[in-house]
Structure formats: structure tokens, C-alpha cells
Chain A
Amino acid sequence: DAGVTQSPTHLIKTRGQQVTLRCSPKSGHDTVSWYQQALGQGPQFIFQYYEEEERQRGNFPDRFSGHQFPNYSSELNVNALLLGDSALYLCASRLRENNSPLHFGNGTRLTVT
């Protein structure tokens, strides 16, 4: 039973560029959330997708956008990259039923130079 998988594992981009990160949820899960984790800090909620729509959003600018596909996989897009966007980006999935805990992938380490 595959867990949450993310690609790529590492990525280096230049300021101003755009990046797309990908996530496949755990088998049987229908809800995907994205988190940003800066070095030495806890994960911060970016947004959540369910039924191919953004359902909830944290305190992140519009440069951060996403998509969920019919097979429940998801993408995170970040435009106009800033140095401060360097972080570990985590994807988490769960079953929609209430209080089903999040299962996390191992993340994509994004470095912006």
C-alpha cells in the first residue's frame, strides 16, 4: 500500500521563476493538503483540495496555487519565486470523513537562489 508520494525530492530554482510540485495521495484518500516547512519551524498550512476544488486556504499569497485531478493527485504551483520560498513542501492526504488524520509525504526540498 503506497503512502503519499511527492516529486521531485529536490529542486533548485532562480528568483522569479515558476515551479510545479506533484503529489499522489495515499491509496483510498480523497483530500490533499499542502504545507510549507521552513528550516527549524513547524509545517504551515497552504491549502486543501477536495473534489478538485480548493476548500481551505492558509495565509499564503496568490503566487501559490494548486490543482487536484480526478484521480485525487495534486499539484502545487508557485509563481515569481522569492528567496523566502525556499523550504520543504509537504503534501498530506486523508479520507474526507471527520478527524481522519493526515498522512504526509516526505516532501520536496525547494531551494531558490
Chain B
Amino acid sequence: LAKTTQPISMDSYEGQEVNITCSHNNIATNDYITWYQQFPSQGPRFIIQGYKTKVTNEVASLFIPADRKSSTLSLPRVSLSDTAVYYCLVGTFSNDYKLSFGAGTTVTVRA
């Protein structure tokens, strides 16, 4: 079971780039890295998923070094609406019970 470690909280300002690093030293060969965003009283929303190198979509980028022992979610030019909890998950969705959301990282964006 891949254990993940991410910061409890991060503060930022509108227009800045936010980078959240997740450590997962015992990631398995078949594991993927997936990030979710959650607003209060809503379900988690899928942001991005990757296996190695770099993945980019319309909302974020995910950087994964060659050893895959960590990953960094990058949110470009954040706005107030990006204030949320961000979860890093490591594993495969074919084995849901092995996926742990942890406590996540609370990102607060200020004006």
C-alpha cells in the first residue's frame, strides 16, 4: 500500500502558480498518481492522472520525476475559486480499497 505525504495547508494569492508536492516513496510499478480537488460539501473532482514524466490538461499539470517517488501538482494562475482541498492518490483504481485519500492539502487563495 503506497503511503502518501503532502503538506497540510498552503496559502497563495490570485494569479500565482501553486505547486503541491506529494511524496510516495514506496510506489509500485503498476501504480498511477491521481489528484482530486474537493470543495466543502461536494464530492471530490478528478483533476489529473499520470504515470511518469509530465501530464498537462486544461486545468493543471502533473510533474513526475524518473524515480516516481514524488509528484508535483501545478495549478497555474490560481483564482479565489481554486480554494479547496487537494488529494494525492497512488495506486490503481482496479483496487479501490488500496487507495487512501489521506487528509489532503488545503489550498487557500487570497485576493
Contacts and interface: CB of A to CB of B under 8 A. Distances in A.
A20 interface: no
Contacts of A101: 34, 46, 49, 93
A58 B32 CA distance: 20
A42 B102 contact: yes
Nearest to B85: A42
A105 B92 contact: no
A106 B93 contact: no
Interface residues of B, number: 23
Interface string B64-101: 00000000000000000000000100001111110111
Given A42-B100, A42-B102, A42-B104, A99 B43 contact: no
Interface in A84-101: 88, 90, 92, 94, 98-101
Interface residues of A, number: 27
Given A40-B103, A48-B96, A109-B41, 19 more contacts: A4-B43, A42-B100, A42-B104, A43-B44, A45-B96, A88-B41, A98-B92, A99-B32, A99-B94, A101-B34, A101-B46, A102-B44, A102-B46, A102-B96, A104-B44, A104-B45, A106-B42, A107-B41, A107-B43
